[in-house]
Chain A
Amino acid sequence: MNRSKFDFAVGLFVAIGLLAMAFMALKVGNLAGFDSGSGYALEARFDNIGGLKVRAPVKSAGVVVGRVESIGLDSETYEAVVRLRIASNYRFSKDTIASILTSGLLGEQYVGLESGGDPVYLAGGDRLGKTQSAMILEKLISQFLFSKAAETPAKSQ
């Protein structure tokens, strides 16, 4: 086999390899979609974030508009500090409510944004004023039990 045939075979090999990598980036992964480096950051503080994880989606009306960038704890107020990275083509008003929701009954947790009516929009680095914590199943059950327990003596009379 002469040299140009080697060159051709290797060239074809590299081309197939590059195609495979492009396929992985575009079709298997999602390079064209939301990129974690771009967009602007928002900060939301929650009393309890439940099982929220870094890279969890941020959705508004069910549409993914960003991702959770980092999660920390403010050691002064003992609130969870969640940094959200929102794609730059979405804008939200100043009085947007952030809540932690669950997709499906046992699905992953995500941050839901509900825009309000304020004409001023949130800019990068702003803090979301109104937040709603995750629903903790144990707390819900204990609340239910306590309210049941409070009802029972009234009924027995």
Chain B
Amino acid sequence: MIARVFNFIHDLGHSITSRIDRLGLAARFAGLLLLALGVSIRRASLIIREVYFSGVRSLSIISVSGLFVGMVLAVQGYEVLQRYGSAESLGVIVALSLVRELGPVVTALLFAGRASSAVTAEIGLMRATEQLAAMDMMAVDPLSRVIAPRFLAAIFSMPILAAIFSVAGVFGAWIVGVQLIGIDDGAFWSQMQANVDVRIDVLNGLLKSIVFGTAVGLISVFEGYFAAPTAEGIASATTRTVVISSLSVLLLDLVLTVMMFRGLS
């Protein structure tokens, strides 16, 4: 009995210290990555290639999801709003929830699943097949040649994708609200414009997505770079990227929302 309690406490301690250990590793890795950014940022062609694979190729899933999310918001929002006789506010509700929250957050979640998992698998396989070690041998710094461009591409792509998501969502809400349900077109747009503030809502939303891009990008390259060089190791690293990215995006969203929007109203 005592041995079992002892074991339990031992395991608990071990799981906590190993997590702190890994957090420290991630922080040191982020520091090294920051140093490598200076070299990497001058080689735009590498970043452009990664923006193509992470950002451009995510365009279809982002715009289609945005459209559907906007449509669903319009249907649900209308259902509640018409009970209070203010169906014209649909534009405001949809636009504010997309621009402030759903645009950045859902984009980051989709990006983590669509692009970051691929980045982790790619870097993990490079590690497993010793391509990174080979680069090191040729005096090519893998951090600035392989890791930094993928990290920068995530930061760069995220706000663009979030903006496209929000616009697709507003368009979807317009299709459902104005074209199908028959809310007045003018009221839909004018209420939206009167209540969405460019600085407070739009810019804060984009700022959020830049923060999410940084977090998701860092997690994906970190998990790939330190993946165990086996098939199983790459598989678990890819899973961890998606899980940790999603959780940290949601946690960061809470923190950022409280910081940005609490003082209002």
Q: Which residues of A contact B (CB under 8 A)?
A: 3, 6-7, 9-10, 12-14, 16-18, 20-21, 23-25, 27-31, 33, 36, 53-55, 64
Contacts and interface: CB of A to CB of B under 8 A. Distances in A.
B124 to A, nearest CB: 23
Nearest to B171: A23
11 contacts: A6-B49, A6-B52, A13-B52, A13-B56, A17-B163, A21-B163, A24-B166, A27-B189, A28-B196, A30-B196, A33-B193
Interface of B: 45, 48-49, 51-52, 55-56, 59, 95, 99, 157, 159-161, 163-164, 166-167, 170, 189, 192-194, 196-199, 201-202, 206, 264-265
Nearest to B91: A28
B95 A28 contact: yes
A34 to B, nearest CB: 10
Identify the 8 closest CB pairs spanning chains A and B, nearest first.
A17-B160, A20-B163, A29-B198, A30-B193, A20-B167, A29-B196, A13-B56, A31-B198
A3 B45 contact: yes
B55 A24 contact: no
A6 B54 CA distance: 12
A73 B78 CA distance: 39
Contact of B202 (A10, A16, A24): A24
B48 A29 contact: no
A16 B164 contact: yes
A138 to B, nearest CB: 22
A48 B159 CA distance: 43
Given A29-B201, A36-B199, A13 B193 contact: no
Given A13-B56, A54-B264, 19 more contacts: A3-B45, A6-B45, A6-B49, A10-B51, A10-B52, A13-B160, A17-B159, A20-B166, A21-B163, A21-B202, A24-B202, A28-B95, A28-B167, A29-B99, A29-B198, A29-B201, A29-B202, A30-B193, A31-B198
Contacts of B196: 28-30
B99 A28 contact: yes
Contacts of B160: 13-14, 16-18, 20
Given A28-B95, A29-B193, A13 B159 contact: no
Nearest to A12: B56
A13 B167 contact: no
B172 to A, nearest CB: 13
Nearest to A15: B160
Nearest to B192: A28
Contacts of A28: 95, 99, 166-167, 170, 192-193, 196, 202
Given A27-B193, A28-B170, A28-B196, A13 B59 contact: yes
A33 B192 CA distance: 13
A10 B52 CA distance: 6
Contact of A29 (B45, B51, B197, B265): B197
Given A13-B55, A17-B159, A17-B163, A30 B198 contact: yes
A7 B45 CA distance: 8
A20 B194 CA distance: 19
Contacts of B99: 24, 28-29
Contacts of A18: 160
A53 B264 CA distance: 9
A25 B202 contact: yes
A18 B161 CA distance: 10
Contacts of A21: 163, 202, 206
